[in-house]
Amino acid sequence: MTLNAANRATLRMIFADPMRGDVRWDDFVRLVNALGGEWLKPGHAAGSRRKAKLNGRKGLFHSPHPGALMKKGSVESAAEFLRNAGVTLAPEDERC
């Protein structure tokens, strides 16, 4: 699957070392969608929690509010979710 430049940039930000705290939630949502993932309907009283499914793996994330930026812990969870789903950086994208 080929990602556009914006999705590749988001992926680099999520996998960056040291962990970044400036990843936009909407960019992460678009990345999961572009990778073929889906966002599952939240359960009753889910609040700001959102469930994602990608390559048979599920992740639970906190949608930031009122701001748009994910906290470092959420970015770390996103990176772990993507790794567990088999997502890696292409060699040309490893220059974070």
Contact in structure between 64 and 40 (CB atoms under 8 Å): no
CB-count burial class (<10 Å; 0-12, 13-18, 19+) for 5: exposed
pLDDT, mean over the chain: 90
Q: List, for residues 6-37, the tens digit of each pLDDT value.
A: 999 999 999 999 999 999 999 999 999 999 99
Q: What pTM did the predictor assign?
A: 0.89
CB-count burial class (<10 Å; 0-12, 13-18, 19+) for 61: buried
> What confidence tier does 96 reach under pLDDT thresholds 50, 70, 90?
very low
Q: List, for residues 37-71, the tens digit of each pLDDT value.
A: 999 987 766 678 899 999 999 999 989 888 899 99
